[in-house]
Structure formats: structure tokens, C-alpha cells
Structure 1
Amino acid sequence: MDTLFSVADATAALRQQLVALLTGSNAHQSFDDAIKNLPVDLRGVKPEKLPYSIWQLVDHIRIAQEDILEFSRDSNYVSPPWPDGYWPKETTPPDATAWDTAVAKIRADRDAFVALLNDPEQDLYKPFAHGDGQNLLREALLIADHTAYHVGEIIIIRRLLDAWPA
């Protein structure tokens, strides 16, 4: 006789899969893998015919993820203006501290979002009262999809700059 999962079991399994999607590499490289051992002098290089440097992509990931996190946990949060508020204008990080701070913030905000996902009081499916149909499940998928897209771009830039492991 087959055993059916309860709704609670199914939700717990979904939460585990979402956490793995946000923190692992599954079918793609992770954010941490994409920036690992990146030479400092290549962070701000914008290859010909490409619109962004790796720094701009990293800082964009930081801004967008922070926006999604804050929207998900604070009904009074106001998003930056689109698109200017989501992209740094400078191609190069101002200094090593700015790079380190952006990377640390990406990790911290990812961990904060994972904590939201793991909070049994948070309903994955219930639309936020302050949105237009968004829910925690949708926002988790949005972070994963958005980050994976830009991680791919980071890797392509690294390949173009001969800075990706063979």
C-alpha cells in the first residue's frame, strides 16, 4: 500500500528543495563558484560588445536579491527605481572593501531568505498582502532564477578573459 505524503510533509520537502536551489549548484555553477579565485584586476573589466563587468553583475545580484528579501519580509519596503536603482554605474568596484562587502551581503541576504523559507510560520503559497499576487515560493524561485542567469554571464565573461578554470 502506498503511503501518501501529508501537506506538511510535502511543504517541508519543498522547503528543503528551495534551500538546496538557493544554496547549491544543482544543474549550474553556484555564485560562490563563479567568483572563486577571480583575479582582482578583472573584476571591473567589461569585454568588448558586452554591457556589464563582473563587478556590475555582482552588485546587481546583491541589489536585486536584497530587494526581493526585503519585499518578502517587510510590507512597508519600497523598491529602488527601475532600472537605475538596480545597476551600479561604475564598471569597477571602488575598492576591495566594496567587492568584499557586496559578496558578503549576497551571502547574508541569501541566508536570511533561507531562514524565511525554513520558518514554519511562513506560508509558501499565501500571497503577500502588500503585493499583487507574489508569495514566498515565487520569490524564492525568482532569486534562484535571477542569480543563476547572472552567474552564467559572470562565467562567460571569465571565459572571455581567460580566467575560468579549464
Structure 2
Amino acid sequence: MGNQDNSSLRKHLDNLLQMDGAHLSFDAAITDFPAALRGAKPAGAPHSAWELLEHLRLAQEDILDFSRNPAYVERTFPDDYWPASPQPPGDEAWQQSVRQFQQDLAAMRALIADTALDLFAPFPWGDGQTLLREALVVADHNAYHLGQLVYLRKLLEA
């Protein structure tokens, strides 16, 4: 398809990245999350809210880095994708993680909106990955873990 405008596809991807439609948005899931519950893990829950937030941020940051950095360096899983502690170091760390997630999401959306970038062209530094693929991975990964976060919040606030 080359460097065509693909405006309809770009708009659909943008909506998906913003979690418009069927999914709850990141902002709705995270707004006013009770500070006292951010490090809590009820019985059977694999992760705390802090772990999920940081994992969302770290994974999205990595995919964004891969999508725009010819000198990308692969990270180590799971160490580089999960925080060391289930507890956030403090409120400022929580707020900074939220802000960074939002900034990186905006940057990914900007890549998708840039009609100078070919959604279908494999990155020269990858193994066949395309901007389209990376945007879909971000959207899918975010939706999955936001679902976990919403469910965790319901359990904790019940």
C-alpha cells in the first residue's frame, strides 16, 4: 500500500489507542485510584495496581522506542518490564508513571497520524515489524492490562 494516506485506517488505530468505544479508557481506569490500594494484592490477584501501571508504562515505552529508534536496544523480560516492588515508592512516582504513560501514548498516536510514515513498511532495524503491527500490539496490550486494572479496582473497593 506504500505511503498512501490511509486516513481511515489511521483514524481507527487512533481510536483503538485511545481506547474509544467498547473499552474503558486509561484515564477512566486510573483517575482517583485510591492511594492506599495502589500496592494491594487481594488473594488470587497476580499484580498490584502499581505493578500493572508500571508494566503498562514500561511496555508501551519500549514499543514506542522500538517504533522510532533505529538504534533500539532490546530490553530484558521480565526485569525491564515490571517494577521491583508491588508498592509505589510514593504518590509522586504514581503520578509520574501516569503522566509518562499518557505522553508516550500521545507520541504513539502522533506516529500513527504522521502520513509521511508508512504503516506497512518493515522497520529496517527489526525482523519484519511494521508501525501498524506495533500500534496494534500497544492497543492490545494496553486493553488487556487495563481490564486487569479495572477488575482489581473493583475487587479492592468492594
**Whole-Å Cα distance in 1 between the matches of residues 92 and 127 of structure 2?**
37
Report 1:62-77 matches (<5 A). 62-77=57-72
**Whole-Å Cα distance in 1 between the matches of residues 103 and 47 of structure 2?**
24
Give TM-score scaled by structure 2 length: 0.94
What is the match of residue 47 of structure 1? 42
- Report runs of 4+ in structure 1 exceeding 3 Å deviation: 6-10
**Is it true that 1:157 corresponds to 2:157 in the alignment?**
no
**Structure with the greater relative contact order (CA < 8 A, sep ≥ 6): 1 or 2?**
2
Task: Report the identity percentage.
Answer: 47
Give TM-score scaled by structure 1 length: 0.90
Q: Tell me which of 7, 12, 33 is aligned to 1:12.
A: 7
Q: Describe the superposition over 1:62-89 as per-residue Cα deviations: whole angstroms up to 9, x where unpaired.
A: 0000000000000111132011110112
Which of structures 1 and 2 has the bigger CA Rg?
Answer: 1
For structure 2, the residue ranges without an aligned partner over 5 or more in a row are none
- In the TM superposition, residue 7 of structure 1 has moved relative to its aligned partner by 8.4
Q: Which amino acid aligns with 2:115?
A: P
Aligned length: 158
Query: 1:86 aligns to what SS in structure 2?
Result: coil
Q: Describe the superposition over 1:107-140 as per-residue Cα deviations: whole angstroms up to 9, x where unpaired.
A: 0000111111111111000111111111000000
* Root mean square deviation of aligned Cα: 1.7
Question: Which piece of structure 1 moves more, 20-29 or 97-106?
Answer: 20-29
Q: Describe the superposition over 1:46-77 as per-residue Cα deviations: whole angstroms up to 9, x where unpaired.
A: 11122210000000000000000000000111
